[in-house]
């Protein structure tokens, strides 16, 4: 409770903490002393080196968000990215590296390690200061951080991703599906801060989705919730790569550059490209409708590709309104390509908060 | 806590209750006296009329499950049904009445009232003894019991069903979507007692579904979760009525008799009927796959029609295994046509238990 009170404000006096928490003054004093010993709280005056002035002004304390650090990592087909934050979740730095879509798992993880090392060095943060690392990755991720199935990246299925990354860190490493992480991010500081019941659609050639129900991530019984990429196979329909192609050859499944070109051509009035985009949107509408009918969210956030997706919004709204018994609001991602790493960061922050407040809970229970 | 302890056993002494609850003997005595005054608990010896024997044997108390009653009601296209139970949820009687699929809302509700009156009279239970009434109905049901949208029954959309039924009862009336109620029922005493993450599919011509996530009903933001009946419309595919027809004329949407005949013909080897059933199963597989990909349940329970559905199970398992990244178990409903009313009864029981134990919670908090 004391930690909660201190984190909610810049700094506070013992009297203020006593008032906010409802705890007795001796209790608050004891807890604050303990938190100072742990390095999580500091006395403002002492920190500022100011001599106590006459009249003995009340001592003021503040939460030391700099007492530890967090990483939010993204592993994607074309890039790896890392976000560094303090214990308040305030972002201190970011780093991204391109990676070849055909890179082996080893190469991809090595690129990520390089990005992290560079990010920590530039920010002047010691690796030992890290309290938790969140990771967003394509694929179905099990609770222990193993990728059960991941067709989007080479050598990804079966990869013990959590264990591999843990070798680089002494703190806990939490691995989550990328669309799930993005859903958490949009809810934290993106397009979905006002809603607790959302579906985030990662609209790639193989679309995935993450959903929050009552503000909590819905992973499903086996961590596979939202993996709607296979839905079209049941209708015996063609793949998105074929839908979006303007030639007789399907696009490469991971070639987002080619996709962006088709979208650009369609905008420019090219007939074949426009037809391809229409086919693609129809598919996306169908996949999103399946999610919406199953889950009935308040809000659908569409993200994934930076380019071209704005044209998706209107047809999506129109078709969902036609076929869903209770159509949701539909909006574009606000976080764009930062969504996955931001969500991974939030998951790391959740973990640390749980730890911090669990300690506090134990103290309370013991009283 | 005392009520919990007493409900968990046939009868108990004050010493036993004290041991199980960890409460002090005076507290237990006080609470038991209060419960006796409320009529929820009775002393065994007093009840049996036996004079206290020599040696003063310990007084024994039991929960009076007969102190109140519950109803679980089902409103369907072809019938209305009612289940009567005591406060332990033990079923004391059942009653069903046929109703014409074209009946007006007034007629349908009147049939239900007649069924309830007959059931209460036969069981010798006074209407004033009812503590809660659960109702399962087709359609999207809002929190206040209004049917927002219900195309399966005439005059159903917009019907203030909760309010209409409340006129017949002095206790709370809780209205729930029929597939949701069936999901709750299968989890309570049907095919899904071992799993907390389930999807129940009401496989009619217009399929609906209900799901439990972590053992709790997932209604969706607007109560429309699982309403997958519209999914095929997006693919511009034909309706189930056409799929299942063996002539050029579609079946009537609510004609389950005709459906049963097609299933029977297919079993007998009729080629056209077999083709029709195959088309229907393919559609059902697609709808269920959409639910499974979105939610990732541990178990899918298929119910709805009594006849013909056993042939659905194998193709469903096979296709889900092909296309779902983590295929769920698939099984048939154990409760059959009793599922909806049973689930409605469970919802009434949940409501009463909440009330009983909320009172108890208040007492505890006051200590």
B231 has pLDDT over 80: no
Chain B: residue nearest A228 by CA?
Answer: B293
B331 has pLDDT over 50: yes
Q: What is the mean pLDDT of residues A132-146?
A: 94
Which candidate from A220, A290, A325 shows the least CB-CB separation from B296?
A220
The percent of residues in chain B predicted with pLDDT above 70, rounded, is: 85
Helix (H) or strand (E) holding B141, with range, is: strand B140-141
Q: How confident is the model at residue A198 (pLDDT cuts 50, 70, 90)?
A: very high
Are A294 and B289 a contacting pair at CB < 8 A? no
* Mutation for testing the A interface, residue in B235, B293, B297, B326 having most A CBs under 10 Å: B293
Chain A: residue nearest B283 by CA?
Answer: A235
Which candidate from B225, B285, B326 shows the least CB-CB separation from A224?
B326
Which candidate from B149, B286, B295 shows the least CB-CB separation from A220?
B295
* CATH, domain range A193-333: 3.30.420.40
pLDDT value for A363: 40
pLDDT digits (tens, 9 = 90+) for B86-96: 999 999 999 99
pLDDT digits (tens, 9 = 90+) for A240-284: 666 666 666 776 655 667 777 888 888 888 888 888 888 878 778
pLDDT value for B228: 79
Those residues whose C-beta lies under 8 Å from the C-beta of residue A306, and which sit 6 or more positions away, are A260, A336, A337
User: Touching check for A214 and chain B: CB below 8 Å?
Assistant: no
d(CA B92, CA B212) in angstroms, rounded, equals 27
pLDDT value for B251: 67
pLDDT value for B208: 86
User: Touching check for A290 and chain B: CB below 8 Å?
Assistant: yes
* B288 within 8 A of B201, measured Cβ to Cβ: yes
* Mutation for testing the B interface, residue in A235, A296, A327 having most B CBs under 10 Å: A296
ipTM over 0.85 threshold:
no
Query: What CATH fold (topology level) applies to the domain B2-63?
Result: Arc Repressor Mutant, subunit A (1.10.10)
Q: How confident is the model at residue B364 (pLDDT cuts 50, 70, 90)?
A: very low
Question: What's the CATH superfamily of B192-333?
Answer: ATPase, nucleotide binding domain (3.30.420.40)
pLDDT value for B246: 66
Question: Residues A41, A44, A49, CA angle at the centre, nearest 5°?
Answer: 125
B148 has pLDDT over 80: yes
Q: Which option is the CATH number for A67-184+339-354: 3.40.640.10, 3.30.420.40, 3.40.1180.10, 3.20.190.10? A: 3.30.420.40
Q: Show me where the domains of chain A are located.
A: 2-63, 67-184+339-354, 193-333
pLDDT digits (tens, 9 = 90+) for A63-74: 999 999 999 999
B339 has pLDDT over 90: yes
User: Touching check for B225 and chain A: CB below 8 Å?
Assistant: yes
pLDDT digits (tens, 9 = 90+) for A13-42: 999 999 988 889 999 999 999 999 988 999
Q: How far apart are the first and last CA of chain B?
A: 13
Examine domains B67-184+339-354 and B192-333 and report if their fold is the same. yes
- Work out the mean pLDDT of chain A and round it to a whole number: 86
Q: How confident is the model at residue A207 (pLDDT cuts 50, 70, 90)?
A: confident
Question: What sections of A99-230 are H helices per DSSP?
Answer: 105-123, 161-166, 178-189
B21 has pLDDT over 90: no
Q: How confident is the model at residue B181 (pLDDT cuts 50, 70, 90)?
A: very high
Chain A: residue nearest B281 by CA?
Answer: A234
Bridge partners of B79, per DSSP, are: B98
């Amino acid at each position: 409770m004391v930690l909660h009170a201190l984190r909610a404000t810049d700094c506070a006096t013992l009297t203020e903490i006593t008032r906010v928490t409802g705890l007795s003054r001796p209790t608050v004093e004891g807890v604050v002393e303990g938190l100072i010993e742990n390095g999580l709280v500091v006395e403002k005056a002492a920190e500022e080196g100011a001599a106590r002035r006459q009249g003995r002004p009340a001592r003021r304390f503040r939460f030391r968000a700099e007492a530890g650090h967090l990483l939010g990592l993204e592993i994607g087909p074309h890039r790896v990215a890392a976000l560094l934050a303090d214990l308040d979740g305030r972002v201190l730095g970011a780093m991204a590296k391109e990676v070849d879509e055909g890179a082996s798992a080893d190469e991809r993880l090595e690129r990520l390690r390089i990005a992290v090392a560079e990010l920590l060095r530039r920010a002047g943060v010691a690796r030992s200061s890290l309290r938790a690392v969140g990771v967003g990755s394509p694929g179905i991720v099990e609770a222990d951080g193993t990728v059960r199935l991941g067709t989007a990246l080479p050598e990804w299925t079966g990869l013990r991703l959590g264990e591999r990354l843990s070798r680089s860190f002494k703190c806990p490493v939490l691995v989550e599906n990328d669309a799930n992480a993005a859903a958490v991010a949009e809810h934290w500081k993106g397009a979905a801060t006002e809603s607790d019941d959302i579906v985030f659609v990662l609209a790639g050639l193989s679309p995935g989705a993450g959903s929050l129900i009552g503000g909590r991530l819905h992973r499903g019984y086996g961590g596979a919730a939202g993996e709607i990429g296979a839905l079209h196979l049941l209708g015996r329909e063609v793949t998105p790569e074929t839908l979006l192609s303007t030639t007789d050859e399907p696009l490469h499944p991971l070639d987002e550059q080619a996709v962006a070109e088709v979208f650009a051509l369609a905008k420019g009035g090219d007939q074949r490209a426009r037809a391809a985009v229409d086919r693609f949107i129809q598919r996306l509408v169908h996949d999103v409708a399946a999610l919406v009918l199953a889950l009935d969210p308040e809000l659908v956030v569409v993200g994934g590709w930076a380019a071209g997706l704005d044209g998706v919004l209107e047809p999506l709204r129109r078709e969902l309104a036609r076929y869903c018994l209770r159509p949701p609001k539909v909006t574009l991602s606000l976080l764009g390509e930062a969504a996955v790493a931001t969500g991974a960061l939030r998951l790391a922050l959740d973990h640390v908060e749980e730890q911090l407040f669990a300690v506090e809970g134990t103290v309370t229970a013991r009283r």
